[in-house]
Structure 1
Amino acid sequence: MPRIITLTPNPTYDFAVDADFVAPNRKLRCRNPQSHPGGGGVNVARAAVRLRADVLAIITAGGLYGDAVKGLLGEETVPIRSIPVRGETRIAFHVRDLSDGQEYRFNLPGAEMSAAEADAMIAAVEEEAKEGDYVVGSGSLPGGGPVDLWARAARAAKARGARFVLDSIHGVHEALAEGIFMLRHNRYEYPIIAGRELPWPDGVIAFARGLVAEGKAERVTITHGADGSIMASKNGVARTNVLPIKAHSAVGAGDSYVAALLVALMRGWSDDDAIRYAMAAAGATRLTPGTALFRPEDVERLYKEARGSA
C-alpha cells in the first residue's frame, strides 16, 4: 500500500488563543489556548492520518519545542522519523480577535539548518520512499539550509519510483527544473513563479497548463481563496468552487487540501472528484478554531455537498 511521506525541515510548535480584542499598549486577556504540532508537512501528515492513509512524517526536531512537537504528533498517532538538529524548533503564535473575527499570526524564525542535517533528511527519503509512494515537501526552508533541498528530495524520491509533491515558496525553481509530480500554490504564492498576478481563472489555468506542458510538473493545482481551485494535468483541467461556510481559521486549510487530494488520487478517483474532496477538507479545517484541523465527518459532508452542486 503506498504511503504519504511528508518532509518538514522547519516544523513549529503552534500555539493559538482567543482575545476579546487586539489593541496596542493594552494588557490582552486571552482564553481557549490550544497547542498543536505544525509546519506544512506536519499538517499534511496529520490530515492524511485522519483520512485513514498510511503516513510517515519526517521532521527535524531540536530542543524543548522539538520534543513537544514529537509528543503532540504521538498523541495524534502520526508515525514519525525524527532528525535531531542542534537548534531549537521554532514556535508560532496565533491570536483571534473576537471583536472583529480577524486572525493574527506570528511566526518566529527557526534554527538554521546545517549541511549535515540537510543530508540526513535526504538520506531519510532514500531509505523510506518506495515505488508508488507520495513524498510531500511542504512549508518553509530553514535559514542556512540548501536552496536545492526540495530538488534533491525530488531526485531521491523519483530514483525510488515515488512521486514528489511540492507545497512551498522556497526552492521552487530548482525543484521544477528537476521535474516533480505536483506543485500546489495559493493565490499569493504562484505569482512568485509566474512573475506577476494573473487573471482568474483563464490566466491561472494557462500558467498551470504551461508548467505541465514544459514537463516541470505532471500536475499543478492552484487554490485561489473564495474563487475556488483548479488542477491542470495531461488529463485536462479540473475546477471546483468554494462551498459557503462560516470560517473560524484558515490555519492548515492548504495542508488539508494537499492531504485530501493525494488520498483521493491514491483511491483512483477522477480529477474532478479529487479536487472536490480536497476543497471539502480545506473547508472543513476552516470550520475549526485556531490551529486545529478538520473533523473527518465534516469532510465527508462537505464533499457530498460539493458533488451535489456540481
Structure 2
Amino acid sequence: MIVTLTLNPAVDISMTLDRLIPEHKLHCSQPRYDAGGGGINVSKAIHRLGGQSLALFTAGGTTGLTLEGLVEAEGISYQIIGIESITRESFVVMETSTNNQFRFGTPGPVLTPAEAACCLARVETLPAMVDYLVVSGSLPPGLPTDFYAEIARFAKAHNIRMILDTAGEPLRAALEEGVFLIKPNVGELAALLGVDQLEPDQIGEAATALIQAGKCELVAVSLGPRGAMLVSADGQEYVQAPPVRKMSTVGAGDSLVGGLVYALSQGRSPADAIRLGVACGTAATMNAGTELFYTEEVERLLTWINRRQAVESM
C-alpha cells in the first residue's frame, strides 16, 4: 500500500499569452485547473501507471473545495485533513512568443498548532499494511522545520519506507532520523554535504556518503534534462533522459517519484524503477502547463531508455 502526504497542496492554474508586457492589460487563454502539490501529483502519476495509492492532503476554504473536486475527478483515493485557512493557488504562464514559462507560487496557509497535531495524528493512525509513505512538497507556514523528522521517526518505528521529496532544513532534519529514499537535485545534494557545488563525477560519491552515514537507503538525484541517477549501497545507475521537445517542467519531478515508487511497490529492481521514473518525468515535460504525462508516451520513452541502457551495458 502506498500513501502520499501533501501538507501544502495547491490548485494549479495554467494559461498562455503572447507576451508579458508591464502596465498592459494582458489577454490570456482559457485557464486550465489541476490538483497540485507534490504528493497529490505522485498519486496522480501512480494512478496513470495503473497503480493505487491513498492521497492525504490538507484543504480549506473555497479553494480547498475546488482542490477536492479536481482530485476526485482524477479517480484517486483520498482523505482530507481539514484546515480553517484557504488552500493556496499557484500560477503557470507560458509566453508563446518566446516559449518562456513563468511560475508563480504562494507560501500557503498558516497551520495552527491544533491543525499540525491533526496532520501528525492522521499519519500515526495509518493502516498497518502501509508499505510506502511518500511525503512530498514544502512545509506550510506554521509548522516547525523538524515536522518531517517526526514523521520519519514514526515511519522507521513502524517499518514504513518513507520517500521524502523536499529541500532545506526540513530535509536535513528528517535525514537525522533516517528515511528510505530522497530525491534531491544536484544543488540540494551539495547543500546536504555542505559544499557549494558538485562536479558530475562527484555526484555518486556524495550520494553514497549519505547512505553510508545511515541517513537513507536510496538517493535518486534529479539531473534535469540529463536524466537522473539512483544510488544505493550496491552501486549507482545513471539513466539519460530521452531527447524530447520540452513544453513545461511542472510536475516532472513528482512524475519521476511516482514512477519510482510504483515500480518499487511492484517488486521491480531499483535499476528498473529509476528507468520508469525518468520515462515518467520526461513524458511530463512534453505537456504544456500543469498537465502530467500520458501513459503511451511513458511506454515509448521507456522503450528508448531500455534500448540505450542495453547498448551501453554491452
TM-score range, shorter-chain basis?
A: over 0.9
Single out whichever of 129-138 and 242-251 deviates more from structure 2: 129-138
Q: Counterpart of 1:164? A: 162
Q: Distance in 1 between matches of 2:271 and 2:200?
A: 16
Instruction: Flag structure 2 segments of 5+ consecutive residues without an equivalent.
Output: 310-314
Q: Is the 8 A contact 2:256 2:277 kept in 1?
A: yes
CA contact (8 A) 1:126 1:160 kept: no
**Aligned equivalent of 2:223:** 224
Please tell me whether the aligned partners of residues 130 and 161 of structure 1 are also in contact (alpha carbons under 8 angstroms): no
Superposed, which structure 2 residues align to 1:33-44 within 5 Å? 33-44=31-42
C-alpha deviation, 1:77, in angstroms: 0.9
**In the TM superposition, what whole-angstrom CA distance separates every residue of 1:203-222 from its partner, at most 9, and x where no partner exists?**
11111000000100011111
Name 2:195's counterpart in structure 1.
196
User: After the TM superposition, which of the residue ranges 131-140 and 53-62 deviates more from structure 2?
Assistant: 131-140
Give the AA of the match of 1:150: Y
| C-alpha distance in structure 1 between counterparts of 2:129 and 2:208, whole Å | 26
Residue pair 1:186, 1:223 contacting (<8 A) in 2 also? yes
Asked if the contact 1:7–1:57 (Cα under 8 Å) also holds between the matched residues in 2, the reply is yes
Distance (whole Å) between structure 1 residues aligned to residue 262 and residue 79 of structure 2:
21
8 Å contact from structure 2 (residues 255, 281) kept in 1: yes
Kindly indicate whether residue 271 of structure 2 is the aligned counterpart of residue 269 of structure 1: no
Find out whether 1:109 has 2:107 as its counterpart: yes
Which of these residues, 118, 126, 129, is aligned with residue 128 of structure 1? 126
Are 2:26 and 1:28 aligned?
A: yes
Deviation track 1:218-270 (CA, whole Å, cap 9, x = no partner) reads 11111111222111112211111111000110000000000101111122222
* Matching residue of 1:187: 186
Instruction: Name the SS for the 1:122 alignment partner.
Output: helix
Name the amino acid aligned to 2:145: V
**Quick check: 1:93–1:107 contact (8 Å CA) kept in 2?**
yes
Name the counterpart of 2:8.
Answer: 10
Question: Which sections of structure 1, spanning at least 5 residues, go unmatched?
Answer: none
Change (3 A) 1:26 1:106: same
Judge conservation of contact 2:8–2:138 (CA < 8 Å) in 1.
yes
Q: Which residue of 2 aligns with 1:240?
A: 239
Tell me which residue corresponds to 1:174: 173
Give the CA deviation at 1:129. 4.4
Tell me the equivalent position of 1:289. 288
Q: State the alpha-carbon separation in 1 of the partners of residues 194 and 21 from structure 2.
A: 36
8 A contact 1:10–1:142 mirrored in 2:
yes
| Whole-angstrom distance in 1 between the partners of 2:127 and 2:10 | 24
CA deviations 1:63-120 (Å, max 9, x no partner) are 0111111110000011111111111111001100101111000011211112221221
Q: Which residue of 2 aligns with 1:253?
A: 252
Could you tell me how far 1:15 is from its partner in structure 2? 0.3
How far apart in 2 are the matches of 1:29 and 1:149? 42
2:61 maps to: 63
Identity of paired residues, percent?
38
2-side partners of 1:273 and 1:188: how far apart? Answer: 25
Give the CA deviation at 1:296.
1.0
Q: 1:97·1:103 contact (CA, 8 Å) conserved in 2?
A: yes
Distance 1:175 1:299, change over 3 A: same
Determine if contact 1:253/1:286 at 8 Å carries over to the other structure.
Answer: yes
Does the residue aligned with 2:246 lie in a helix, a strand or coil?
Answer: coil
Normalised by the length of structure 1, the TM-score is 0.96
**Structure 1 residue 132: deviation in Å?**
5.3
Q: Distance in 2 between matches of 1:188 and 1:116?
A: 35
CA deviations 1:256-310 (Å, max 9, x no partner) are 0001011111222222221111000001111111001111111111101100111
Is the Cα contact below 8 Å between 1:257 and 1:281 reproduced in 2?
A: yes
Change (3 A) 1:270 1:236: same
1:97 alignment partner in structure 2: 95
Please say if residues 186 and 198 of structure 2, whose CA atoms lie closer than 8 Å, have aligned partners that are also in contact: no
Distance 1:129 1:99 in 2: 50
1:73 match: 71
Q: What is the deviation of 1:44?
A: 0.8
Code of the residue aligned with 2:102 in structure 1: it is Y
Aligned alpha-carbon RMSD (Å): 1.4
Amino acid at match of 1:164: M
Partner Cα separation in structure 1 for residue 10 and residue 158 of structure 2:
29
Contact 1:17 1:34 (C-alpha < 8 Å) held by counterparts: yes
Confirm or deny: 8 A CA contact 2:227 2:239 kept in the other structure: yes
